[in-house]
Amino acid sequence: MSGQASQSHGAQESGSRGGDQEQYKQLYDMLLNAIPSSVLLIDSKLRVTSVNRNFLTRSQRSLSDTIGCTLAEVFPSVILERTDIKRRILEVFKSNKPSSGQRMAYRAPGMPFRTYYYRIFPIVSGTREEQVMLLMEDVTEQVRLSEEMRRMECHLASVVESASDLVLSLDTEGRILTWNTAAEKLSGFAFSRVKGQFFFEFCHSAAHSDIKNLFHRMRRSARPLTAEWELMPEKGSEIPVAWVFSPMKDDDALTVGIVAVGRDLTEQRKLEAEQRRSQKLAALGVMAGGIAHEIRNPLAVCSSAAQFLMEDGLAAEFRTECAEKIQASLQKASSIIENLLRFSRPSDKQKMAPVALATVLSETITLAANQAKVHKIKIICQLPERCPPVSGVFSLLQQVFMNLLLNAINAMPEGGELHITLEQQGGEARISIKDTGTGIAEDALDKIFDPFHTTSPVGQGVGLGLSLCYSIVKQHLGSISVDSQPGQGTTFTVSLPLL
Amino acid sequence: MTASSQPLLDCLIVDDEPGIAWVMEHLLLTGGYTAVSVPTGMAALAALRQQRFRLAFLDAKLPDIDGLQLAQQLRELEPAMPIILVSGYYYPDDPAILRALESDTISHFIAKPFTNGDILAVLAGLA
């Protein structure tokens, strides 16, 4: 019998029925041993009457020191105490109903911990003493997996919750499903307040139709879409946020939701405004020479004419001529200063408004003309009389054109021609600024819009100029491009959507 | 006809700003000097090839050439002619001006705006 783990002690008493009995017993043993779970039969005195091979292997016991032993001898006392298994068995004897499933951690000597799921079933037999069956299934792996899964879920949730960016999930209609702590903090709205609400309700009203459009496109898009929309917090003024919307796809590649990640741009905007201010100062510094020359000429005329007037015996005609020269010169000096003031006025906190590009360009060209003149540069300018306006901030657009003009002038130390054209192409206004200067090397063209890139020597450069041009043009939903031939010249083209 | 065969004129004025040319002409002519004004470097060189001048007043920034560059070119044509740079672009102790004075590219520098006396004093000093 030693090769046969399963052993029914009841079977030892029944030799009278001969071969049939033996055959059934063998079949019973075979079936019992084939079960990939531990099976024990226990009588009402809590003694083991039968056991299968699975249990013996796991518990590292032999058949002989298990059959007929009490539960207390077979299971470590710590398990019996913790699982209350004795009481459960007695309960089943009493109720004749299977117990509910329970978990039990069991560790055989020298073996790692295993987790079992066990149930106790009553075995009703008219002739025999009553027994119950203890069925133990090893669920160590499942438990490990589910714990891992739970840990992973917790980890993911904590990633989302710890993020300083806003992380939202939305349904395909744009209704809020989840809203992380960063979103609660920035907006002041608790998740419970926003749950199920439409995302657009928490954005600036100017963006509502754009948001609806984006979600509409999102349903078919496989790629993330980006936007900058202002968040309307519970208290205080709107907050600029850069959003990235990514579609969540199911196994059939259908969009089932949207993940929105938003970054508060407040600090960045402040930094940009500061950069623009300091860059403007740099541009004003560059222009100082040209402006000094241009203002001191009319001042010299005024000064001399005034001195003429102080002389005695002047002809009335000449006196009038002197007065007219003084008047005209003062007007000229004053208009140079006025243009300068227009350029230097603060540009932050200005709202988008319809802007006539021809006016921006002509004001900027007038100011840059002083600089062009001292560098012997001829300005050739083609501005149409009528061009529909664009939506923009006057002073920011002026800063873009001023930077491009000053860069062009800077590129022509030996003089040259500066062509400025404004034309309407479809729904866009296209401004091109073309110089006949030194040009830009091909390998530098890629880096030209990077902040801090400059080819000018320290102290002379307007290194921030082009990266600011880029960010301002982008803010106006436009684009800027450059085309250059070293030794031939450079053309910058700015495209802006017409209103 | 060569430049040397022409009567000597007192002043060549090179300035593209009509107001300055008006001031200089009036100042010099009423002071009893003879003067001709031209608006560009090219015109100045052309005038000098046709006519001799006792001295020249140059603006620093001309449409076709830098005043200091023009001074060098005039120097080659008329090594002895005093050249006075009259400009609002530089200041009196500007390094570029100090260098030009040191190398004798220019003889004097007068900053704009100037007093009429400044101009006349230069002429008197050279007389």
**Minimum CA–CA partner of B21 in chain A:** A301
pLDDT in tens, A164-219: 999 999 998 899 999 999 999 999 999 999 999 999 999 998 889 889 988 888 88
Among the partner-chain residues A303, A374, A376, the one whose CB lies closest to the CB of B89 is: A374
User: Residue A303 and residue B115: Cβ atoms within 8 Å?
Assistant: yes
**Tokens of residue A213, six digits:** 């459009």
Distances, alpha carbon A77 to alpha carbons A73, A86, A130, in Å: 8, 11, 25
CA–CA separation, A161 vs A179, rounded Å? Answer: 9
**Domain count along chain B:** 1
Distances, alpha carbon A478 to alpha carbons A42, A272, A475, A496, in Å: 83, 18, 7, 4
In a domain, B29, yes or no: yes
Q: What is the pLDDT of residue A1?
A: 39
Q: What is the pLDDT of residue A341?
A: 80
Among the partner-chain residues A303, A329, A376, the one whose CB lies closest to the CB of B63 is: A376
**Residue A309 contacts B, CB cutoff 8 Å:** no
Any idea what DSSP says for residue B66? B
Q: What is the pLDDT of residue A18?
A: 66
- For residue B65, the chain A residues in CB contact (below 8 A) are 376
- For residue A313, the chain B residues in CB contact (below 8 A) are none
In a domain, B111, yes or no: yes
Report the gap between the CA of A374 and the closest CA in chain B (Å): 5
Among the partner-chain residues B23, B60, B66, the one whose CB lies closest to the CB of A300 is: B23
pLDDT in tens, B24-83: 999 999 889 999 999 999 999 999 999 999 999 999 988 888 999 999 999 999 999 999
The CATH code of the domain that includes B108 is 3.40.50.2300
Please choose, from the candidates A116, A136, A137, A134, the residue with its C-alpha nearest in 3D space to the C-alpha of residue A50: A134
Q: How confident is the model at residue A307 (pLDDT cuts 50, 70, 90)?
A: very high
Among the partner-chain residues A303, A373, A415, the one whose CB lies closest to the CB of B113 is: A303
Mean pLDDT computed over A352-356 = 89
Please choose, from the candidates B106, B65, B63, B64, the residue with its C-alpha nearest in 3D space to the C-alpha of residue B86: B106
Q: How confident is the model at residue A349 (pLDDT cuts 50, 70, 90)?
A: low
Q: What is the pLDDT of residue A134?
A: 92
Mean pLDDT computed over B97-125 = 92
- Please state the ipTM of this predicted complex: 0.87
Asked whether the predicted pLDDT for residue A2 surpasses 60, the reply is no
The strand ranges marked E within A65-147 are 102-106, 114-123, 131-138
Asked whether the predicted pLDDT for residue A12 surpasses 60, the reply is no
**Tokens of residue A287, six digits:** 């222009």
In a domain, B2, yes or no: no
DSSP A368-409: HHHHHHHTTEEEEEE--S----EEE-HHHHHHHHHHHHHHHH
In a domain, B35, yes or no: yes
User: Residue A307 and residue B115: Cβ atoms within 8 Å?
Assistant: yes
Mean pLDDT computed over A5-27 = 65
Q: What is the pLDDT of residue A458?
A: 40
Q: Report the DSSP pairing between strands A479-485 and A102-106.
A: unpaired
Residue at A466: amino acid letter: L
In a domain, B88, yes or no: yes
For residue B27, the enclosing domain spans 7-126
Buried b (16+ CB within 10 A) or exposed e, A379-405: beeebeeebebbebbbbbbbbbbbbbb
CB A390 within 8 A of CB A354: yes
Q: How confident is the model at residue A10 (pLDDT cuts 50, 70, 90)?
A: very low
Residue found under tokens 């979600």: A215
In a domain, B115, yes or no: yes
Q: How confident is the model at residue A418 (pLDDT cuts 50, 70, 90)?
A: very high
Instruction: Set out the domains of chain A in order of their start, with CATH numbers.
Output: 9-140 (3.30.450.20), 163-264 (3.30.450.20), 269-497 (3.30.565.10)
